[in-house]
Amino acid sequence: DSEIFCIYYDVTDGGNFEGNTILANNINASSLAFKFGKNEAEIQNIISKCSDKLLEVRNKREQPGKDDKVITSWNGLMISAFLSGYRITDNSKYLDVAKKSIDFFESNFEKNHILHRTFKNGKPKLNGYLDDYAYMANASIDMFENTSDPKYLLFAINLANYLITHFWDDSSNGFFFTADNHEKLIMRPKNNYDLSMPSGNSVAAHVLLRLHHITQNKQFLEITKKIIESQATSAAENPFAFGYLLNVFYLYYQKPTEITIINDKNFELVSSLRKKFLPESIMVLVKNEKDLATLSKYSFFSGKEFQQNKTNVFVCKNFSCSLPLSNLSEIEKEL
């Protein structure tokens, strides 16, 4: 058995890397079966048994360190990604994962009135940074668009207000990376450039712009405008460093298409519409009459009625809305 295993994984006395061996399969099981007079199933069984023996030995070694803390900003990105997957595939397991995650952060914010940067074994550590608030607020809007649960809209609004109160620098029209209640530093840093992840400043601007179109909160729009104006020259000179903010520029000047889907009774219509690539849109799926009644205080939803056995779609732009539509081709003409 050991001979078969060594040939299969290229194990030799001289090794294949600096005198040692890194297991690498360069031969198929059928060749070994022919060489040793066995069938492929027998070869695979031998390889599996030998691998199990190696694993037993390996498990006796000291385990490498593992970083298993929960990072808030990364979870915000993950939630948005899972919700994109749900919107495109209609696979509810993506929604379930996203909901479980965001509910954890929402309940902690409700309890502590701040976001924490990390969690380890359920225990929070460090006050959250700009990225944590911006990414999580953006994810909460995504969750609201997919569920119409007012709880997630309120969570996003609360995070946005916290950003303005504790991170905003009115003297330079941008957000600090740390809050005013964070540990005192010689200088509070700012980061306007996209690096391995989007700039928190740009994501915050996107959050405020999206929320403005849903809630008509003028302060959200004013701050978005200040960020755009303060960064316009830098973005024009170095667009590759401001990719996310340029998308916000486009949304600000083009103005988003506002799509409200009332009732998901017509699954085929809803699914077809949600799968369309409409990056400049704000699309909210309202699944029940109770949510619509709660949300009717916002102009985005006012005047729209819930019909139990029919799916209606409203397409709005520049404060002008279509009549309720239920035919996909008619809706597409309005997009």
If DSSP codes are grouped into helix, strand and coil, which group holds residue 325? strand
- At 151 the pLDDT is 97
Q: What is the mean pLDDT of residues 15-26?
A: 86
- Interval 168-187: pLDDT, tens: 999 999 999 999 988 887 88
In this predicted structure, the answer to whether residue 162 has a pLDDT above a threshold of 80 is: yes
**312-329 residues labelled b (16+ CB within 10 A) or e (exposed):** bbbbbbeeebeebbbebe
Q: Please tell me whether the overall predicted TM-score, pTM, comes out greater than 0.75 for this model.
A: yes
Q: Could you give the CA distance from residue 44 to residue 25 in angstroms, rounded to a whole number?
A: 13
The whole-number average pLDDT for the span 101-130 is 94
Task: Please compute the mean of the pLDDT values over residues 111-118 and round it to a whole number.
Answer: 94
Long-range contacts, 46-50 (Cβ 8 Å, 24+): 46/1, 46/4, 46/5, 47/4, 47/5, 47/8, 49/1, 50/1, 50/2, 50/4, 50/5
Kindly write down the DSSP assignment for every residue of 308-322, as one continuous string.
Answer: TT--EEEEEETTEEP
Specify whether the CB–CB gap between 179 and 127 falls below 8 A. Answer: yes
Label residue 302 by pLDDT band (50, 70, 90). confident
Is residue 200 pLDDT above 90, yes or no?
Answer: yes
Query: Per-residue pLDDT for 122 more than 90?
Result: no
Residue 2 DSSP code: H
Looking at residue 250, its pLDDT comes to 94
Contacts of residue 234, defined as CB under 8 A and 6 or more positions apart, other chains included, come to: 192, 241, 242
Determine which of 60-64, 153-157, 259-263 has the lowest per-residue pLDDT on average.
60-64
Name 313's bridge partners: 261, 325
Lowest mean pLDDT among 9-13, 205-209, 217-221, 257-261: 9-13
**Is 125 strand, coil or helix?**
strand
The β-bridge partners of 169 are: 174
Percent of the chain whose predicted confidence (pLDDT) is above 70: 100
Q: What is the DSSP string of 45-89?
A: HHHHHHHHHHHHHHTTSPPPP----EEHHHHHHHHHHHHHHHHHH
Residue 98: the pLDDT is 98
Instruction: With both helix axes pointing from N to C terminus, report the angle between 72-89 and 92-112 in degrees, rounded to the nearest 10.
Output: 150
Instruction: Return the CATH fold of 70-254.
Output: Glycosyltransferase (1.50.10)
Per-residue pLDDT at 96: 98
| Mean pLDDT across 192-203 | 94
Q: Tokens 């302060």 — which residue? A: 219
| Largest separation between any pair of C-alpha atoms in the chain | 80
Report whether pLDDT(319) > 80: no
Cα 314 to Cα 295: distance, rounded to the nearest angstrom: 15
On the question of pLDDT at 131 being above 80, the answer is yes
> What backbone phi and psi angles, to 5 degrees, belong to 314?
-115, 130
| pLDDT at residue 189 greater than cutoff 90 | no
- pLDDT of amino acid 154: 97
Give the residues across from 120 on adjacent strands.
123
Of residues 296 and 26, more confidently modeled:
296
Instruction: Inform me whether the pLDDT recorded for 318 exceeds 90.
Output: no
* pLDDT of 299: 86
pLDDT at 144: 97
pLDDT digits (tens, 9 = 90+) for 252-301: 999 999 999 999 989 999 999 999 999 889 999 999 999 999 999 998 99
